[in-house]
Amino acid sequence: LIGHMWAVNDGAISPDGRTIVSASEDSTLKVWNAASGQELWTLTGHLRGVNGCAFSPDGTFIVSASADQTVKIWDVATGRPRLTLKGHTGPVHSCTVSPDSTLIASASNDNTVRVWHNQSGELHLTLTGHSGSVLHSAFRPNGRQLLSVSKDNTLRLWDIHTGQLLTVLRVDGALSDCAWHPDGRQLVAVGPRGVYFLELKL
């Protein structure tokens, strides 16, 4: 898939497997037909590079995270922006959507994760506690907790309804990404020093 002017930072596939979205340093996202490779939309509006993107599990919208300190929500059917989420005070590294597609989490260089309501764009929670940039977050498959990973060498698990910090797991290096096993107990985190497989008891 050729079309971006600068480096591509992230990509995602729609739940039905028919559509791909790519996020680029050229400040745009592009939406592609997965079967033909045809470009369907170019999503413009961010003022700096786009670091992350994700489809909602229901397949109706795309979220994007940018170095311009914002998160945007885009309509998949039209390619038009629905909402711009503002509040971070540093570049936003990544974004993810809850299993029921109602909440969006954004991880930022300002050491926080912010959780937003998809429909209204209102801020639901600001999760504070990391002492370094938060590079990624992931909703637990049950939708009730959120995992975040940071350059501060920790993984943190949060209650998504109250914002309570449930546990802190410390490793021997900075972390840049994380994902849950479908069973909701095992998880993987990655960073420059390696890959970490962990199991949560709660």
pLDDT digits (tens, 9 = 90+) for 79-96: 999 999 999 999 999 999
**CATH number, domain containing residue 161:** 2.130.10.10
92-97 and 39-43 strand pairing: unpaired
Q: Would you state the pLDDT for residue 95?
A: 99
Averaged pLDDT of the chain: 97
- Specify if 130 maps to a domain: yes
Instruction: Name the token pair of 20.
Output: 């791909």
Q: Would you state the pLDDT for residue 44?
A: 98
Q: Would you state the pLDDT for residue 139?
A: 99
Say what the pTM is. 0.96
Instruction: Name the token pair of 68.
Output: 């311009």
CA–CA separation, 19 and 101 (whole Å):
18
Decide if pLDDT at 201 tops 90. no
The range of the structural domain enclosing residue 114 comes to 8-199
- For residue 134, the cross-strand partners are 150
Q: Are 157 and 129 in contact (CB under 8 A)?
A: no
- Specify if 2 maps to a domain: no
**pLDDT per position as a tens digit, 12-49:** 999 999 999 999 999 999 999 999 999 999 999 999 99
Q: Are 115 and 125 in contact (CB under 8 A)?
A: yes
Give the alpha-carbon dihedral of 100, 102, 69, 166, to 10 degrees: -70
> What is the domain count for the chain?
1
